[in-house]
Amino acid sequence: MDDHPFRDGAKAALPVVLGYLPVGVAFGILARKAGFNAFETGLMSLLVYAGASQFIAVEMISKGILWFPIVLTTFFVNLRHLLMSSTLSVYLKKSRIWTLGLLSAQLTDESFAVAVSDTSKILDRPFYLLGLQITSHLAWISGSVGGAFFGSVIDHRKYGLPFALPALFICLLMIQIKGRDHVGIMVMAGIFSLFFKWAFPGNWCILLATLFASVIGMVIKLKVQGSKLKNSSASALIGEGEGGGE
């Protein structure tokens, strides 16, 4: 069977493209208003490629804030990628360091979520991930440059476009629910996230809620497995007169 990982990945990116174009346009309009030209807007989308922090950056620039606080804020906003990068490491053991560098430069919430919706497709297939990410990235760049050029003509808030990415995330979340333990993690992470968002304004909620929910989930799972292991070795002792054959 022919294997076209890059093309498959590019196809998988299409729903992300639909979400990125209007958001990119919105970013381009705001960047232009903050004093960026179209080239700088495109350069930022090419090199930084992180939606939330780009919006925050142009907001801070328009308020006259200097570069250092902006870079620091960007760092904290994007710390959540630590967890996504760690998750992907399981599937990319055979890739070269340069490939990993290119792939991680384009890691976003959306492409990550699409990538892990079917992990069989990314296991040792860096080109699938590359197709997915390059396609999404191109949509982000062209959206932002388009917004910077033609901003006043396009209305990115029309036709339900603001709900494209939330709907994408909801579907990707539903795809991840594979068992009762996942429902538990979803509820925990949701509640934690709302709490942290309320307690610490900004994007901290994603990192903190994910950490708390997955660590608690891990501890519970270890406990459950531990007691199961005890039970099964105990019954093996009674049944066959030999135990500990784990």
- For other proteins, the binding residues in 168-207 under the rule CB under 8 A are 168-177, 181-182, 185-194, 197-198, 201-202, 205-206
Check binding of 103 to other proteins (CB under 8 A). yes
- Residue at token pair 């093309």: 7
Interatomic CA distance for residues 101 and 93, integer angstroms: 13
Chain residues 113-152 in contact with other proteins, contact rule CB under 8 A: 113-114, 116-117
Answer for which of 53, 111, 135, 144 binds other proteins (CB under 8 A) is 53
93 in contact with other proteins (CB under 8 A): yes
Strands (E), 121-243: none
Determine, following the binding rule CB under 8 A, whether residue 104 of this chain makes contact with other proteins: yes
Q: Which two tokens stand for residue 141?
A: 């760049």
Candidates 8, 83, 236, 243: give the one binding other proteins (CB under 8 A): 83
Identity of the residue, 219 or 237, whose beta carbon is nearer to other proteins in the bound complex: 219
Q: Would you count residue 163 as binding other proteins (CB under 8 A)?
A: yes
CB of 144 to other proteins, least distance (A): 12
Report the nearest approach of other proteins to the CB of residue 142 (Å): 18
Q: How far apart are CA 193 and CA 204, in angstroms?
A: 9
Instruction: Give least dist CB 241 to other proteins, A.
Output: 29
CB 139 within 8 A of CB 24: yes
- Asked if 18 and 164 count as a contact pair (C-beta separation under 8 A), the reply is yes
Long-range residue pairs from 50-55, CB within 8 A, at least 24 positions apart, any chain: 50/74, 50/77, 50/78, 50/108, 51/23, 51/27, 51/108, 51/140, 52/77, 52/203, 53/77, 53/78, 54/27, 55/27, 55/30
Q: Which of 2, 64, 86, 153 binds other proteins (CB under 8 A)?
A: 86
| Residue closer to other proteins (CB basis): 218 or 237 | 218
